Amino acid sequence: MPVLDAHARAHCTPDLKALSYRFAVCCEDAALGAHVTALLSSLLDADLGIDAADGGGVGQPAPHRYSLTASPERSGAVDIRRDGEVVESGLAPGVAAGWIVWDVNRLAAEFSGEHLLFHSGGLEASGVGILVPAASGSGKSTLTAGLVRTGLGYLSDELVALELDGSGSGPGRLLPYPKPITVKPGSFGVLADMAPNMLEGEGDGEWQVPVGDGTGRRVGEPCEPGFVIVPRYDPSAETALVPLTETEVFFALALHAVNLLPHGATGSQALGRLAAHCAGYSLAFSDLDAACCLVLGLLGTRV
């Protein structure tokens, strides 16, 4: 079976990097190729301050490749191959683009085990990092998107990596994984100004909002963490920030650490340094703008 046909090679993204997962996407269709390139351009394998650890080092071609080709089974649909194997077939082009974002996210977690990973939003303000750890449905991505809209640097809305430097002296750096921001239908209204250009089938379930150059949404730099904000969207709540103890911050982070177990004692000690280093707050919110104002006010006291 050919890994890619000649057509699919015609419209390829540059090499991209999702933490330590390095990949490229090639599309048979020029319009889809341009769309995917724009969507994923924030993951350009430039200097995001991350060293790839999967055997495909910087300067080498990305070792993983998606190809999107016309589906023989359904007119206008595409099949997706990853490293030559068919992984999805018969998808609308817009759905295929969203599927790539989802799959890259999964593989970013799988390939980046050298870092301590959190299911968390992440932001950067004047070199200070903010973690927004929370379960799905808690308003994590919405709050992250709202804060990016105010001008904060975007690290991720889903998976934040803490670099473990091994020295044990500081908390380590948060690394950017600036995937497109995924916005669920319940937040379309409050983030209406971020509605992306969409292809057929895209946006029925979720928006994938591009970030980085030309979007007005800045990608953050690798940074030392300073804040942990645990969000909880509650339509009946009064929007308020409440300080957390170091113990509460530690367990909020532990609860959302993706790979604490493989890091064992090293990971738990890193978690302890992180909790000790960061100011922690819980943020119940019913009003996104009010929540963003509270967070910005908080940053003003430190940044």
Partner 1 sequence: MEASWPEAGSVPVRREGASAVELDDNIALYDDVGQLMILLNSSAGAVWNLCDGSRTVGEMVNELAEAYPVQAEVMGDDVRQTLRKLAELGLVTAGPPAQ
* Interface with partner 1 (CB under 8 A): 245-247, 250-251, 254, 260-261, 264-265, 267-269, 271-272, 275-276
DSSP label of 257: B
Cα dist from 214 to 19, 175, 218, 236, 251, whole Å: 22, 21, 9, 37, 38
The nearest distance, CB 254 to partner 1, in angstroms, is: 6
Q: How far is the CB of 39 from partner 1 (least distance, A)?
A: 38
Nearer Cβ to partner 1, position 99 or 251?
251
Closest distance to partner 1 from the beta carbon of 249 (Å):
8
First to last CA, the chain: 55
Question: Shortest distance, CB of residue 255 to partner 1, whole angstroms?
Answer: 10
Query: Between 57 and 262, whose beta carbon lies closer to partner 1?
Result: 262
Beta carbon nearer to partner 1, 237 or 254: 254
Q: For strands 174-175 and 85-91, give the pairing.
A: unpaired
Cβ proximity to partner 1, 104 vs 275, nearer residue: 275
- For residue 264, the minimal CB distance to partner 1 (Å) is 4
* Degrees to nearest 5, angle at CA 138 with 197 and 181: 25
**At residue 80, what is the residue type?**
I
Which CB, 126 or 269, lies closer to partner 1? 269
In the chain, DSSP assigns E strands to 11-12, 16-18, 21-27, 64-70, 78-82, 85-91, 116-125, 128-133, 153-156, 159-162, 174-175, 181-183, 207-209, 224-233, 240-244, 279-285
The helix/strand/coil state of 32 is helix
CB of 265 to partner 1, least distance (A): 4
Residue closer to partner 1 (CB basis): 207 or 250: 250
**CA 196 to mean position of chain CA atoms:** 16
Q: By CB neighbour count within 10 A (0-12 exposed, 13-18 middle, 19+ buried), where does 111 fall?
A: buried
